[in-house]
Structure 1
Amino acid sequence: MLYVQLAIILIASKLAGDVSTKFGQPAVLGKLLVGILIGPAVLGLVTETDTLHQISEIGVILLMFIAGLETDVKEFKRSWKASTYVGILGILLPLCIGYLYGMMIHLSNFEAIFLGLLLSATSVSISVATLKEMGQLNSKEGATILGAAVIDDVLVIVALAFVMSFSGGDVNLSLMLLKKFAFFIIAILVGWKVVPWILVRFTKLNVSETLISAALIICFVFAIFAEKTGVAAIIGAYIAGVSISVTDFKHAVVQKVETISYSIFVPVFFTLIGVSVQFAGITTSIPMIILLSLIAIATKLIGGALGAKLAGFNRKSSLGIGSAMVSRGEVALIIASTGLANHLLTDKMFSIIVIVVLITTIITPLLMKIFFTEKSTDLEISA
C-alpha cells in the first residue's frame, strides 16, 4: 500500500541521512544508499510504483525550484564565463572518449556518437542538494555549476537532435532549435515581467496560503513548458525559482517550499533512485559496467575541472566543480530511452547505461565531499 511504502521511505531516508552526516558524509549519500537496502535489490520492502515515481518527479522539480530561489543572481551573472567553460569542456571530453569506446566495442558510427552524447549529459539535482548541505549553493562554485548545467542541457539536447536527424530518427532539427530558443526567450520575459505581477495578484485573494500556491503554480507551469519544448523540466523549475528570487516574496516562498519539499517529496526522490537498482542479470556485463562507469566519472570530473581551471578557479575548487557535474541522473535516462526507441541502443546496452547512471549519481556526493570544504575558498574568476 502507498502509505506503508511512504512511511518506510521517510523513516529510512531520515535515519540514513543522520547516520551519513555522523560519518562526515552528505546526508543525500545515506538516502541514496538506503534506497538500495530497502528496495528489491536487498530487503524488498519498497518497490518502484507509478505513484511513487510521480512523487519522485515532483521532488526533483521542487529541489531545482529551491535552487533557483536561493540563487544569487548577481553572482550568477558574474560566473557566466566560468559556466560556459565548464559546460563546454564537460561535454567535449566525455563525448570524445565515449565515441572512441563505442568504436572499440564495434558500435556503428551513429551508435558510438550517441553513446558519447549520452555520457555528456549532466543532472545537477543531487549536486544541488549536496551544495546546499555544505553551504556552497550561493558560492562562486555553486553559481558556476548551476550555469554550466543549463548550458550542458541545451548543447547536449541540440547535438542529440542533430545526430538523430541524420541517423533516421524522426526529428526536425530546425523546429527543435526554434522551440528551445522560444522557451528561453519566453521564460525569461515571463519571469521578468509576469511572475511578480502574478505573485502580487494572488496574495490579494481572500483564501489561505495564496503566496505558496502561486509560487508552486509558476514552478510547475515553467517545468511543463520546458518539457514541451524539449528542455529538461528541472531547467524550467530552476528558471521559475530564479524569477521569484528577485522579488520581495523570495524568503517567504523559500521557507514554505522547503517545508513541503523536504517533508515528503525530496526524500522520496533520493530514496527511489536507490530503490530502482536491480542486480539481476548483470553478472556477465560487470566488466563493461565498471569500465563505462570509470569513463563516465573521469571524463566529467576532468572536463569540468579543466573548464573551471581555465576560468581562474584554484585546483581544489576546480575538482569540486568537476565532481558536481558527474551525476547523469534523469537527464541521461531520458536520452537513453530515446536511443532505445530509435534503435541507437540495444536492450542490453540500455540496462548497462541505467546501472552506470545510478553509479554516477551515488558517487557524486561522495566526490563533492572530498573536494569541497565547508568554508568558502578564496577564488579569482575572470569576469
Structure 2
Amino acid sequence: MFILQLALIIIAAKLAGALSVRFGQPSVLGEIIVGVLLGPSVLGLIEATDTLATFSTIGVILLMFIAGLETDLGEFKRSGKSSSFVGFGGIIVPLFLGYLVGVMMDLSNLQSWFLGVMFSATSVSISVQALKEMNQLKTPEGTTILGAAVLDDVVVMIILAFLMSFAGGDVSLTTLVIKKALFFVFAILVAWKVVPWLMNKLTKLPVSEAVISAALIICFVYAYVADYTGVANIIGAYIAGIAIGLTNFKQEVFEKVEAISYSIFVPVFFAYIGISAVFTGILDNLGLIIALSIFAILTKFIGAGAGAKLSGFNWRSSAGIGSAMVSRGEVALIVASMGIASNLITQDLYATMIVVVIVTTVVTPPMMKIFFNSNMKVDSKLNRSIS
C-alpha cells in the first residue's frame, strides 16, 4: 500500500508543481497544497504514517545538503554581519511581541514567553527551494538567509531550553550550550580535515557509485550528530554540503544527489507538510487563527527585513529576505511538540498554532516571488541602462 501511496504523492506533487509554475508561483506551493488535498483533512487518500515521515525527513535533509553544496563559502563569510542582523531581528521582534500577545490572551508569564519562542522559530527549507527556482540561492540575499537560519536555530533552541528549565523540565542550559558549541567545533574541524580525506578514501573503493555513497554517509552522519546535540538535523546536512563543496567531488555529488532528491524524497517532503496538516475544529478558532497568522507573518517579515536593511541591503532585497524568513515549518512544529510535552502550551493553542505554522509555510513562496521578482526586474533595468 505504501508503494502505491508513494507513486500517488510523486505524480500529484509533480503535476501540482507544474500547475503552480504555470500560474507564476514556485512549484513548492503547489506541492504543499496538493498534500493538503491528498491528506486526511480533505480527500483522506493518504495518512501521515511514520514511514512517510521518515521519507519526508530524508527529503529535507537532502534539500539542505544540496543548498550547502551550492553555497559560496567566500560569500557566506562575507554575509556574517547581515546574517546576524537578519537572524537577531527575526528573533527579537516575534519573541517580545509574541510574549505581549500571550499576556493579552491571559496566558501565564512562562506560557507567554513560550508563545514568543514559537513565533521566533524559522525554517528556510521551503525558502531554499523557492530561491533555487528563482536562481537566487547563490546571491548575497540567499547566502544571508541561510546564515540567518543557522543562527536562528541555535539561539531559539537555547532560549527554549532556558524556558523549559524554569518549567521543571529535565534540561540543563549549560549542558545544552556546551553540546551545541561542541557540534560546531566538530563540524568545522571535520569539514576542514576529515571530510576531504574521507572522500578520497571512500571513493577509491572498488564498488559502484562510491562517490555518491561517501557523500551521503557524511551528510547523514552530520545530520545525526547535529540532531543529537540539539541542533536541527537540516543544519548538520547544510554544513556537510558546504564541506563536500570544498572538495573536487562537488559537481559529481551535486548532480547525482539532486537527481535522487528531486525524483523521490523532496516531493514527498513538501507534500507531507500538507498531508500532516490537521484542520479539525478550525472553524471554532477561525478568528484567532487568522489573527495569529497575520501576526506571525508580519513580525518575522518586519524583524528580519529590518535587520537586512540595517545591514546595508536596499528596501526590495530587505523585503525579499524578510519574506524568506516567514516560514516556521518543521522547526516550529518541533518547538510546539516540546511545549505541549512540558505543559507550556494547551492542547487548543497547540492545534491553533499548527494551523498558523502551515499558513506561514504556504504564504512564504508567493511572498518571495513578489519581492524577488521585483528586485530582479529593477536589476535588469539597471543593467540595460548601463549597457
Q: What is the DSSP-based 3-state SS (H/G/I as helix, E as strand, rest coil) of the residue aligned with 2:376?
A: coil
Deviation at 1:273, TM superposition (A): 0.7
Instruction: Determine whether 1:301 maps to 2:297.
Output: no
Q: What is the DSSP-based 3-state SS (H/G/I as helix, E as strand, rest coil) of the residue aligned with 2:31?
A: helix
Tell me the distance in 1 between the aligned counterparts of 2:217 and 2:270. Answer: 23
Superposition RMSD in Å:
1.1
Tell me the distance in 1 between the aligned counterparts of 2:252 and 2:51. Answer: 29
CA deviation vs aligned residue, 1:102-128 (integer Å, no higher than 9, x gap): 000100000000100111000000000
Deviation at 1:376, TM superposition (A): 8.4
Query: Partner amino acid for 1:16?
Result: A
Aligned to 1:343: 343
Tell me the TM-score normalized by structure 1. Answer: 0.97
Tell me the distance in 2 between the aligned counterparts of 1:161 and 1:289. Answer: 26
C-alpha contact (below 8 Å) 2:167/2:342 kept by paired residues:
no
Deviation at 1:37, TM superposition (A): 1.4
Aligned to 1:66: 66
Tell me the TM-score normalized by structure 2. Answer: 0.96
Aligned to 2:185: 185
C-alpha contact (below 8 Å) 1:139/1:376 kept by paired residues:
no
Instruction: Determine whether 1:234 maps to 2:234.
Output: yes
Tell me the distance in 2 between the aligned counterparts of 1:194 and 1:143. Answer: 25
Aligned to 1:127: 127
Tell me the distance in 2 between the aligned counterparts of 1:37 and 1:227. Answer: 31
Aligned to 1:381: none
Deviation at 1:280, TM superposition (A): 2.0
Instruction: Determine whether 1:160 maps to 2:172.
Output: no
Percent of matched pairs sharing the same residue: 61
Aligned to 2:310: 310
Q: What is the DSSP-based 3-state SS (H/G/I as helix, E as strand, rest coil) of the residue aligned with 2:220?
A: helix
Per mean C-alpha deviation after superposition, the further-off stretch among 274-283 and 54-63 is 274-283
Aligned 1:173-252 pairs, distance under 5 A: 173-252=173-252
Deviation at 1:276, TM superposition (A): 1.5
Query: Partner amino acid for 1:371?
Result: F
Instruction: Determine whether 1:279 maps to 2:260.
Output: no
CA deviation vs aligned residue, 1:61-85 (integer Å, no higher than 9, x gap): 0000000010011111111100000
Tell me the distance in 2 between the aligned counterparts of 1:376 and 1:90. Answer: 26
Distance 1:213 1:377, change over 3 A: farther
Deviation at 1:377, TM superposition (A): 6.5
Q: Which runs of 5+ in 2 are unaligned?
A: 380-387
Query: Partner amino acid for 1:324?
Result: A
Deviation at 1:260, TM superposition (A): 0.5
Query: Partner amino acid for 2:330?
Result: E
Deviation at 1:375, TM superposition (A): 3.5
Tell me the distance in 2 between the aligned counterparts of 1:128 and 1:49. Answer: 25
CA deviation vs aligned residue, 1:189-242 (integer Å, no higher than 9, x gap): 001110000110011100000010000000000000001000000000000000
Tell me the distance in 2 between the aligned counterparts of 1:281 and 1:90. Answer: 30
Aligned to 1:75: 75
Q: What is the DSSP-based 3-state SS (H/G/I as helix, E as strand, rest coil) of the residue aligned with 2:61?
A: helix
Q: What is the DSSP-based 3-state SS (H/G/I as helix, E as strand, rest coil) of the residue aligned with 2:135?
A: coil
Aligned to 1:10: 10
Deviation at 1:160, TM superposition (A): 1.0
Tell me the distance in 2 between the aligned counterparts of 1:152 and 1:50. Answer: 28
Q: What is the DSSP-based 3-state SS (H/G/I as helix, E as strand, rest coil) of the residue aligned with 1:207?
A: coil
Corresponding pairs, count: 378
C-alpha contact (below 8 Å) 1:191/1:243 kept by paired residues:
yes
C-alpha contact (below 8 Å) 2:202/2:211 kept by paired residues:
yes
Tell me the distance in 2 between the aligned counterparts of 1:300 and 1:167. Answer: 26
Tell me the distance in 1 between the aligned counterparts of 2:219 and 2:377. Answer: 30
Tell me the distance in 2 between the aligned counterparts of 1:143 and 1:330. Answer: 21
Aligned to 1:100: 100
Q: Which runs of 5+ in 1 are unaligned?
A: 379-383
Tell me the distance in 2 between the aligned counterparts of 1:312 and 1:285. Answer: 41
Tell me the distance in 1 between the aligned counterparts of 2:277 and 2:121. Answer: 20
Tell me the distance in 1 between the aligned counterparts of 2:377 and 2:312. Answer: 15
Q: What is the DSSP-based 3-state SS (H/G/I as helix, E as strand, rest coil) of the residue aligned with 1:64?
A: helix
Instruction: Determine whether 1:375 maps to 2:359.
Output: no
Query: Partner amino acid for 1:262?
Result: Y
> Could you list the runs of 4 or more consecutive aligned residues of structure 1 that deviate by over 3 angstroms after TM superposition?
374-378
Tell me the distance in 1 between the aligned counterparts of 2:324 and 2:283. Answer: 29
Deviation at 1:284, TM superposition (A): 1.1
Aligned to 1:352: 352
